[in-house]
Chain A
Amino acid sequence: MKPSSREPGEGLFDLIEEAVHLLRCAPLSLHAAYAVGALPFVLAFLYFWADMSRGAFAREHAAFGAVGMGLLFWWMKCWQAVFAAAVRAQITGRAAAPWTLRRAGHLALTQLALQPSGLFAVPLAMVTIFPFAWVYGFYQNLTAAGADPVGLGPACKTAAAQAGHRLGQSWLMLGVLSLFTLLVWLNTISAMAILPSLLKTLLGIDTAFTRSGIHSIFNTTYFACSFALTYLFVDPLAKTLYVLRCFYAQSIHSGDDLQADLARLRSRALPAANS
């Protein structure tokens, strides 16, 4: 047996199952928190993409558009950290800490100061391959622990330590996530291609897509739309997986996983005892 497989913590497929279960059982408010951040960014990004690829005056307002995209990226990251905090509260079974002005300010600062570097670091790590799992994990962990009111230095230190935790599992998880993302993208782009034809065949509704035929598919905006939709479908799962990884990594020292299990057992036992 390799040393890495003896390391404490949950197995990869248990982790994936738990993440899917958490998302399925999650209240609507949790999904809404994600959507509030991600939807404006994705819609603005698609508009930005279409404008820069076709707009007659695109060159003149490229800088202004880039500032807007930067702000919306920050907005999305903040809400993703809120989503991660809510997922964490669901895992532990404890009520999430109240949102004070200080906590919100800290979250906004952490996400604005640290996350944008990931826009360059993650693609660079992807090209160089070897540090990818660590770098990607680091930025996901910053989101996962973004709502904790600690300083920027401790937040980086914790995220780095957790990114290095069970690196083998992290690589395997990225492999599974990549495969899943590819399948979701194939499904999305197939649905996008087939839906207009189905609308025409079944309901007789003619759209620009059916009129253009195959040429409506082979343009960059169409592909950008399919990637954006795939991101919206897959990213909540990726975030939940990294929140779980961070939770189990911290539990080795804090025993939080045992407390969460006990709280769960207690909540099941109380109604049974009362009845």
Chain B
Amino acid sequence: MPSLAQQHCLNHPAREAAVQCPQCRHFFCRECVTEHDDRLLCAVCLRKESRQTGARRRPFRALARAVLAMGGLLTATLFFYGIAQALLLIPAAWHDGTLWKSFWSSVQ
């Protein structure tokens, strides 16, 4: 098997190879590889990998998103329901200002 030093980049034939992609076994220069999960992968393999990971996670991710969205709406609803209950507890005299009216007349 030829050594890395004798190889050239698959995308840039003028450049010497620096890395061998562990997935496709092709040689690449440093600019053509990206680190992913502690491995240096070429762009094509990285794209395949991320597509597979995305597909694996998608059902759970969609479910988690739906739960989070419902949780968010429920939280906001609870908050405004709490405000409604607090407003309902306050006496009507406070809301319509008659409380102040009696206070004002007693002052005068």
Contacts and interface: CB of A to CB of B under 8 A. Distances in A.
A112 B96 contact: no
Interface residues of A, number: 35
B95 to A, nearest CB: 4
Contacts of B10: none
Interface string B61-89: 00001001101110111111101110110
A48 B100 contact: no
Interface string A48-72: 1100111000110011011101110
Interface stretch (A10-18, A218-226, A246-254): A218-226
A119 B85 contact: no
A116 B84 contact: no
A62 B101 contact: no
A219 B96 contact: yes
A8 B15 CA distance: 40
A215 B104 contact: yes
Contacts of B85: 62
B79 A116 contact: yes
Q: Which of B68, B92, B98 has the most C-beta atoms of chain A within 10 angstroms of its own C-beta?
A: B68
Given A62-B81, A62-B84, A215-B104, A54 B92 contact: yes
Given A70-B80, A214-B104, A215-B101, A59 B72 contact: no
B84 A113 contact: no
Contact of A48 (B80, B90, B99): B80
Given A74-B73, A116-B72, A69 B80 contact: yes
Contacts of A115: 72
Interface string A102-118: 00000001001111110
Nearest to A53: B95
A228 to B, nearest CB: 13
B46 to A, nearest CB: 18
B2 interface: no
A38 to B, nearest CB: 16
Contacts of A216: 97
B60 interface: no
Interface of B: 65, 68-69, 71-73, 75-81, 83-85, 87-88, 90, 92, 94-101, 104
13 contacts: A48-B84, A52-B88, A58-B88, A62-B84, A66-B80, A70-B80, A114-B72, A119-B76, A119-B79, A215-B97, A215-B98, A218-B99, A220-B90
